Amino acid sequence: MTDTTRDTDEPSVDQTPAQRQAPEQQSTARHRPPDQRQSVDQHWTVVPAPEQQPAEAGRMDLRTTMAINAGRMAASMSQRLGLGSGGMIGGRLALTLQPDLLQRLATGRRVVMVTGTNGKTTTTQMVAEAMRAQAPAVSNATGANMLDGHVAALLTRLDAPFAALEVDELHLAQVTDRFEPAAILLLNLSRDQLDRVGEVRTVAASLQRALAQAPGAQVIANRDDPNIVFAAAGHPNVTWVSGGVRWRDDALNCPQCGAFIGDVDRDWRCQCGLARPSADWKVTDTGVLDAAGTHHELALALPGHVNRVNATFALAAALHLGGEEAPALARIRRISQAAGRYDTVRLGGRRVRLLLAKNPASWLEMLDLVSGNDEPLVLVVNSREADGYDVSWLWDVDFEMLRGRSVQVAGDRALDLAVRLRYAGVQANVASTVEVALGSTFGGLPDVIANYTAFRDVLTRSRT
């Protein structure tokens, strides 16, 4: 069996019935709901790392030890046989043998969960690196972001006191039903894979239920996204990050009552009482301002405003877990790619930069990133299960910003993309493959922007 890792968008077809339950069906009986009052002026505090150390396999019961050993063996075999990274199969087998393994492996660790529609993989890598300035940390760096991927990550080093785990938005409640993480990062919510995930408000309500199951966690949340504010406002411990709202179309109406909010760039307040909280961190053009008004230079290797926002979330999490700013930032600054995103690779005999865009919000960020240069540009779109079969979202993307440039398009839905570009007034040439598209470009360092499975395919071909 081939073992493949997936990002948020790829559902698991081999989960147990308990894992396939909708988040709203997860039991919350053992948790006390938080105070529902909205807090608009809360600040993070430094909490020292735990004295308790993660339990080692030798101190666990026989069943747990057998599950750990079997999971590690399966992951290793998958890697050796070239079937995948082992980021899923090892965790899946171990969970089958010991259904309580996730909470057992999390005991004694400070775990940071990262969720949202966009930016999870990059932010999770930043969090992991920032925590490694203090002590060893494990992470599901390949993007396997459901329970089996979390177990596989925790199996890699049982004595690591920290863990940074990317979590699918609809599976956060499954995680918090099993254990309470030290911190939960809520990045953003926008429409994505409507045929699997559903409407944005459905996801926001699921996140709200997940947070109710973790009243002791520190929540670090995006105060500029009304959907995130709705999910997090009732939690007793929230640090609010402000990075601005680029994609507004999913944030114009109040997620609590449905009333029109309007300009979400301002300090909005809905008639029902939901309002934009005061910011503890404010992202600037070069860095970030903390609650005291002190400016921190970020100087990242990763490009764009969106990565300054991601880095701010990671820095806030690291400081909450007792880290020091200078060493944490030093490690964040050294990150130049995340699971292939923003990486420069060789493809079709050319050096190219790979960029991932999966939905209107992320396409907006990536198009803004490339609009400031005249490098050759290739756009690739598929519509497989992990992407979502519906590509009507192409008409929500502001491709008009590419007017005046010649663009190459490829992928399963190249013709749909070419039609959309024609209506946007952008000259587009359809190619049978990305390599053929690159052969029609000359000079410079081409940018290849691709959605999920297209990006994965291109990245795989670049490594062969």
For the segment(s) 23-333, the CATH number from 3.40.50.150, 3.10.20.600, 3.40.1190.10, 3.30.2130.10 is 3.40.1190.10
Instruction: Give the pLDDT band of residue 195 (cuts 50, 70, 90).
Output: low
Distance CA 444, CA 221 (A): 39
> For the chain, what percent of residues have pLDDT higher than 70?
85
User: pLDDT per residue over 330-386, tens digit each?
Assistant: 999 999 999 899 999 999 889 999 999 999 999 999 999 998 888 999 999 999 988
Residue 194 pLDDT exceeds 60: yes
Instruction: Give the pLDDT band of residue 454 (cuts 50, 70, 90).
Output: very high
Catalytic residue numbers? 390
Total-model pTM: 0.83
pLDDT at 431: 96
Residue 273 marked as a ligand binder: no
Q: What is the DSSP letter of 198?
A: -
User: pLDDT per residue over 92-138, tens digit each?
Assistant: 899 899 999 999 999 999 999 999 999 999 999 999 999 999 999 99
pLDDT at 453: 93
Domain ranges of the chain: 23-333, 344-462
Backbone phi, then psi, for 271, in 5-degree steps? -65, -20
Residue 86 pLDDT exceeds 70: no
User: pLDDT per residue over 164-177, tens digit each?
Assistant: 999 999 999 999 99
Residue 41 pLDDT exceeds 80: no
Residue 254 marked as a ligand binder: yes
Distance CA 208, CA 50 (A): 27
Instruction: Give the pLDDT band of residue 197 (cuts 50, 70, 90).
Output: low
Instruction: Give the pLDDT band of residue 85 (cuts 50, 70, 90).
Output: low
Residue 63 pLDDT exceeds 50: yes
Average pLDDT of the residues in 226-237:
96
Class of domain 344-462: alpha beta
- How many CA atoms lie less than 13 Å away from 187 in the CB half-sphere? 31
Residue 272 marked as a ligand binder: yes
Residue with tokens 């198009």: 367
Q: What is the DSSP string of 272-335?
A: TS-BPPPPSEEE-SSEEE-TTS-EEE---SS-SHHHHHHHHHHHHHHHHTT--HHHHHHHHHT-
Q: What is the DSSP string of 344-374?
A: EEEETTEEEEEEE--SHHHHHHHHHHHTT--
Residue 322 pLDDT exceeds 60: yes
Task: Tell me the average pLDDT of the chain.
Answer: 85
